[in-house]
Amino acid sequence: MISIVGVLGPEGTFSERAAKMRYPQGELRYYQDIEDVLLAVEQEKVDLGVVPLENSLEGAVGMTLDALLDLRVTIVGEVTIAVRHCLIGLGTGDIKVILSHPQALAQCRRYIKRHHPKAELRTTGSTSHAARLAQEFPEMAAIAGAEAAPCYGLEVLEKNIQDSDQNATRFAMVGRNIPGPTGRDKTSLAIYLERTRPGALWEILGEFAKRSINLTRIESRPSKKGIGDYYFFIDLEGHILDESVGEALSKIEEMAALVKVLGSYPRD
């Protein structure tokens, strides 16, 4: 039974919304950033954590991928929600500073350029943290969800300012133990090839292809060991206990320097 769920705080984040959708009876515990949420999971301070994994406009959330790679936690579920950003503030002064999470600022790039080209942009740990800061000065505004405005005594100055109406974010439910297969699962992997030889990535992808395993996402992320050195993050359909997936992973482990299963979980 899920009783305590860690989310990005303070109150009013999209992470909070995702957690309430999936765990309406859960007690929420708020953390300053993504790594803090996942550390709380690893240290058993919460039963689960809910963190953003990827956005339809801006792609993967790097901080989440890094933490999943480094910590002893696993993705146990996912949920995708539509994201509608608003500009919120006190509404009593000219806007000189716009605050938000880096992903939110990026998702509203065109709006900011068109309507507030001279505004200073400041990044925060979450959209609701931006909202809390915006209540301090009339010349500040935050990009956040509409539900954050009443939490901090702010007004919604403009709605739906994201660059696309198709804006959506996929959130990962993160725990400590991989759930069993359901027949409709997804597995997330991190693979490190160590200065890849020609064709190494093709050989790895071929192990999935020859077993008709569908890949739903593949992308690279710098290993931080040097230019041109990458981790590859792959999502595929199936569970690690499925025979075909297990066979593919066994073969890949012989070729790669590192293979880490980030999660094997029911698809949303």
Q: Which residues are catalytic?
A: 169, 171
Q: Residue 159 in contact with residue 174, Cβ under 8 Å?
A: no
Distance separating alpha carbons of residues 48 and 89, to the nearest angstrom: 32
Residues pairing with 30 in the sheet: 7
Give residue 106's identity as a one-letter amino acid code. Answer: A
Q: Is 2 left (phi over 0), alpha (psi -120 to 50) or beta?
A: beta
Q: Residue 36 in contact with residue 23, Cβ under 8 Å?
A: no
Dihedral sign for Cα atoms in the order 61, 63, 66, 68: negative
Distance separating alpha carbons of residues 192 and 157, to the nearest angstrom: 46
